[in-house]
């Protein structure tokens, strides 16, 4: 990830697809893992730990959407609907059937991926804008169903209270414990995402994205792989949704509205389409930026010539968010991941850059 790849010349496909690009990468990845497991949670305060947790949940969802939109090229403006499916499955199963946490989590993913399969069916016939609209419709229909079917959502604008997650004797109650839970799932999601992307499955996805007709000619079953992409992507989203519900402790439709779908899309646009690392960058950026902005403006409270600072902050957040999406699309369509690669390329042969 942060290793200089100077003098690395891959001569086999095997080497090109390996998880660790250079031998040193094993050490840096381990160092990163150790840092986030042992150092990070103890040097930051409670507030920033909360930020990290929200960012972690978003990373899981963003990796899922990136597999669908970035790798397979299928647009979804309804990813929050899959998160909602996962979240509500987990909430209903834990509160009514009293299943353990991990069952709820996996069931959330499975149900979401089944739902993703259904929503993804139009992708077999239409693509581009039409698919975007079909997923948008799925978003609205899901919101409506959760709001109006009492068995699922508990009534109009209601919420389901969910007990905190627990694994055997371990209960994830405090922020720190939840941090480890989120971290574990983020690691799983990243490893799964990287492995999907570099394996046969990921190559089929990329082939479909780059030219679907050509993909079909070289033997990629478009029908199967598109639906698979939808299913895998919604599985990630469902797990993220379930995790969110366990983390916050309530399942409400407010958390899974259209704005959330757009937020996840913005994450992968800002982070970089078709890149797992980019999904991480984007998710962290999109989650942390508004929170940090809030803090900065809080600092200027009283100095700013506005009366109602809270609404001002929320409006300003929208402006910055929307502005950033446009800026990235115009200036760096390949996102933060590209910027990071540029930095890396600069240092590749540094200091002898000739």
Closer Cβ to other proteins, 146 or 160, answer by number: 146
Place of tokens 């969802």: 61
CB of 178 to other proteins, least distance (A): 29
Q: How far is the CB of 300 from other proteins (least distance, A)?
A: 15
CB of 125 to other proteins, least distance (A): 6
Minimum CB separation from other proteins for residue 33, in Å?
32
Tally of CA atoms within 13 A in the half-sphere of 193 that contains its CB: 30
Q: Can you tell me whether residue 21 is helix, strand or coil?
A: coil
Distance in Å, CB of 112 to other proteins, minimum: 19
Q: Rounded distance, CA 136 to CA 112, Å?
A: 16
Contact 285/270 with Cβ under 8 angstroms? yes
Question: What is the per-residue DSSP string for 143-171?
Answer: HHHHHH-HHHHSSTT-EEE-PPPEETTEE
- Please report how close the Cβ of residue 102 comes to other proteins at its closest, in angstroms: 34
Shortest Å distance, C-beta 144 to other proteins: 4
Nearer to other proteins, 37 or 309 (CB): 309
Rank residues 200 and 211 by Cβ distance to other proteins and give the closer one. 211
Q: Cβ closer to other proteins: 288 or 325?
A: 325
Q: Which lies closer to other proteins via its Cβ, residue 163 or residue 323?
A: 323
Pick the closer one to other proteins by CB: 167 or 214.
214
Using the minimum distance from each CB to other proteins, give the nearer residue, 106 or 237: 237
Which residues of the shown chain bind other proteins in the complex (CB under 8 A)?
A: 69, 73, 75, 77, 122-130, 132-134, 136-138, 140-141, 144, 147-148, 150, 156, 212, 222, 258, 262, 265-266, 269, 273, 308, 311-312, 315-326, 329-330, 333
Which is nearest to 81 in space by CA: 154, 162, 147, 160? 147
CB 172 within 8 A of CB 165: yes
CB atoms under 10 Å from CB of 200, counted, come to 10
Contact 71, 209 (CB under 8 A): yes
Residue 251 forms beta bridges with which residues?
Answer: 160
**Closest to other proteins by CB, 317 or 341:** 317
Least separation in angstroms between residue 331's CB and other proteins is 9
Nearer to other proteins, 92 or 270 (CB): 270
166 has which bridge partners?
Answer: 171
Q: Cα–Cα–Cα angle for 245, 251, 257, nearest 5°?
A: 100
How many beta carbons lie within 10 A of that of residue 83, not counting itself? 33
Helices 258-271 and 79-92 cross at an angle (nearest 10°) of: 120
Q: Shortest approach of other proteins to residue 295 CB, angstroms?
A: 18
Long-range contacts of 286-292 (CB under 8 A, 24+ apart): 286/58, 286/321, 287/51, 287/54, 287/55, 287/58, 288/51, 288/55, 289/320, 289/321, 289/324, 290/317, 290/320, 290/321, 291/51
């Amino acid at each position: 990830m942060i290793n200089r790849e100077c003098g690395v010349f891959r001569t086999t496909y095997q080497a090109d697809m390996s998880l660790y690009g250079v031998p040193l990468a094993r050490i840096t990845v381990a160092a990163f893992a150790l840092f986030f497991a042992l150092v990070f949670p103890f040097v930051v305060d409670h507030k920033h730990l909360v930020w990290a947790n929200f960012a972690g949940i978003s990373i899981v969802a963003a990796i899922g959407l990136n597999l669908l939109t970035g790798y397979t090229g299928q647009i979804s403006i309804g990813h929050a609907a899959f998160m909602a499916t996962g979240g509500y499955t987990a909430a209903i199963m834990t509160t009514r059937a009293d299943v353990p946490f991990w069952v709820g989590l996996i069931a959330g993913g499975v149900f979401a991926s089944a739902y993703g399969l259904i929503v993804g069916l139009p992708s077999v016939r239409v693509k581009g804008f039409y698919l975007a609209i079909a997923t948008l419709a799925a978003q609205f229909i899901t919101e409506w169903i959760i709001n109006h079917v009492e068995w699922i959502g508990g009534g109009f604008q209601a919420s389901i209270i969910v007990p905190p997650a627990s694994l055997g004797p371990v209960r994830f109650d405090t922020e720190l414990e939840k941090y480890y839970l989120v971290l574990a799932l983020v690691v799983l999601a990243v490893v799964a995402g990287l492995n999907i992307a570099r394996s046969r499955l990921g190559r089929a996805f990329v082939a479909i994205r780059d030219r679907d007709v050509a993909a079909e000619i070289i033997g990629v079953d478009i029908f199967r792989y598109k639906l698979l992409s939808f299913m895998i992507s919604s599985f990630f989203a469902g797990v993220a949704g379930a995790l969110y519900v366990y983390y916050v402790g309530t399942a409400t439709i407010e958390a899974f509205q259209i704005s959330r779908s757009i937020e996840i899309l913005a994450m992968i646009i800002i982070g970089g389409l078709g890149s797992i690392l980019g999904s991480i960058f984007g998710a962290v950026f999109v989650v942390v930026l508004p929170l940090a902005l809030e803090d900065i403006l809080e600092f200027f409270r009283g100095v700013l010539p506005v009366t109602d600072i809270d609404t001002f902050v929320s409006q300003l957040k929208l402006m910055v968010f929307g502005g950033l999406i446009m800026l990235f699309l115009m200036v760096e369509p390949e996102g933060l991941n590209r910027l990071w690669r540029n930095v890396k390329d600069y240092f590749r042969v540094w200091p002898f850059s000739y």
